[in-house]
Amino acid sequence: MTTAIHQNAPAGDQARDGLRAANDAARTPSESVASIHRLLGAQGYISSEAIATALFIAQSLEKPMLVEGPPGVGKTELAKAVSAITGKPLIRLQCYEGLDEAKALYEWKYSKQLLYTQVLKDKLADVLSGAEGLKASVARLHEFDDTFFSEEFLEPRPLLKALWEPEGAVLLIDEIDKADDEFEAFLLELLSDYQISIPELGTIRARQKPIVFLTSNNTRDLSDALKRRCLHLHIPFPDQALERAIIRSRVPDAEEKLRTQLVAFVQSLREMDLKKVPAISETIDWARTLVLLHARELDRALVENTLNVLLKFQDDIERVGEKLNDLVGKAKSNLR
């Protein structure tokens, strides 16, 4: 990772300089980490010190960052925030089972190649003019190989787009754990050397090294080879203090009393045996819902009528409903 932000620079300069001043030689590491923390906060991403420190290390060592954790804790949002801070485009590759290089790296523009083939066929007599014998004619035709397999006929996909960005990009390889082992192996060259190999063109190196994030929901174990090439960061669910800060930033209209109670309620749900516990994104949506309903504090009826915002399975809603009085009472008494 090669970019960082001048904390005292104008907003326009910040967008151009990215994260560089956070790693300026004039700064101590602790000042750089604090600067990154503030810059993320300015984008509405309330980070922990561990996240800001990992980002500082990754950009200093120019290493991709593998961000793991349960769904909805802000893994993808971290890449979006860095894109906003640096002013670099976010290029996203969503992984899925069966993903291959044709969808991730490049495809040849076959229709355009066929069109040019037809043009060549129509001009064949002119092309072979002066060639004596079969060997000379074949050699003449081989001269067109580089034309048909050149960058002009290449359709870049996310990985190649990130390498071709002249000013660099933020490359997000999202949910890498959903891809196959073979695709992991395919990524190793990119992650270690910021380059890829195309048989017809050779090795293509990054015009400027992208800032690379890989995310994983831990649905399967990733290979040691992939992990060795990345700096690892695990983002757990936030504690109450951090989650209140997130809600304060994202839903400023929520009163402090309501914010404290709703966060305490959500934290209690995460301790239960549910199919899907609420993520930070659900907490934010619920806070917005409660503000929309002009709520100033929790009560049983209000929570019962809005549980579907927090919980995505009916079994979970019913399980929580059985303990709703206790959960609401605990949240209202929790003023930590």
pLDDT digits (tens, 9 = 90+) for 225-273: 999 999 999 999 999 999 999 999 999 999 999 999 999 999 999 999 9
Q: Do 185 and 320 belong to one domain?
A: no
Indicate if the pLDDT at residue 1 is higher than 50. no
pLDDT at 10: 35
Q: Do 164 and 150 belong to one domain?
A: no
Q: Do 253 and 135 belong to one domain?
A: no
User: Does 302 reside within a domain?
Assistant: yes
Indicate if the pLDDT at residue 176 is higher than 80. yes
Q: Do 137 and 269 belong to one domain?
A: no
User: Does 1 reside within a domain?
Assistant: no
Indicate if the pLDDT at residue 305 is higher than 50. yes
Indicate if the pLDDT at residue 7 is higher than 80. no
Indicate if the pLDDT at residue 336 is higher than 80. no
Backbone angles phi, psi at 174, to 5 degrees: -90, 135
Average confidence score pLDDT of the chain: 83
Q: Do 15 and 149 belong to one domain?
A: no
CA 149 to chain centre: 32
> CATH code at 175?
3.40.50.300
Q: What is the 8-class DSSP label of residue 88?
A: P
Q: How far apart are the first and last CA of the chain?
A: 38
User: Does 180 reside within a domain?
Assistant: yes
Which tops the pLDDT comparison, 161 or 10? 161
User: Does 218 reside within a domain?
Assistant: yes
Q: Do 270 and 303 belong to one domain?
A: yes
pLDDT band at 101 (very low <50, low <70, confident <90, very high): confident
The mean pLDDT of 165-175, rounded to a whole number, is: 95
Which tops the pLDDT comparison, 9 or 311? 311
* Entry pTM: 0.78
User: Does 4 reside within a domain?
Assistant: no
Q: What percent of the chain has pLDDT over 70?
A: 76
pLDDT at 15: 40
Indicate if the pLDDT at residue 307 is higher than 50. yes
pLDDT band at 11 (very low <50, low <70, confident <90, very high): very low
Which tops the pLDDT comparison, 317 or 155? 317
Q: Do 137 and 194 belong to one domain?
A: no
| Contact by Cβ (8 Å): 61, 229 | no
Domain that holds residue 138: 106-154
Q: Do 259 and 138 belong to one domain?
A: no
User: Does 2 reside within a domain?
Assistant: no
**End of a domain among 136, 154, 172?**
154
Q: Do 170 and 91 belong to one domain?
A: yes
Q: Do 182 and 50 belong to one domain?
A: yes
Q: What gap in Å lies between CA 308 and CA 98, rounded to an integer? A: 33
What is the residue-wise DSSP string for 190-253?
A: HHHHSEEEETTTEEEE-SSPPEEEEEE-SSSPPPHHHHHTSEEEE-----HHHHHHHHHHH-TT
Indicate if the pLDDT at residue 2 is higher than 50. no
Indicate if the pLDDT at residue 21 is higher than 70. no
Looking at mean pLDDT, say which of 20-34, 141-155, 156-170 comes out highest. 156-170
Q: Do 86 and 176 belong to one domain?
A: yes
**End of a domain among 154, 172, 190?**
154
pLDDT digits (tens, 9 = 90+) for 73-83: 999 999 999 99
User: Does 21 reside within a domain?
Assistant: yes
Indicate if the pLDDT at residue 197 is higher than 90. no
| Contact by Cβ (8 Å): 32, 24 | yes
| Contact by Cβ (8 Å): 247, 288 | no
Q: Using alpha carbons only, how large is the chain's radius of gyration in Å?
A: 26
pLDDT at 30: 78
**End of a domain among 154, 178, 194?**
154
Q: Do 180 and 35 belong to one domain?
A: yes
| Contact by Cβ (8 Å): 292, 285 | no
pLDDT at 14: 42
The domain tally of the chain equals: 3
User: Does 63 reside within a domain?
Assistant: yes
pLDDT digits (tens, 9 = 90+) for 108-132: 655 554 555 555 555 555 555 555 5
Nearest to 1 by CA among 176, 296, 213: 213
pLDDT at 120: 53
pLDDT at 252: 95
pLDDT band at 155 (very low <50, low <70, confident <90, very high): confident
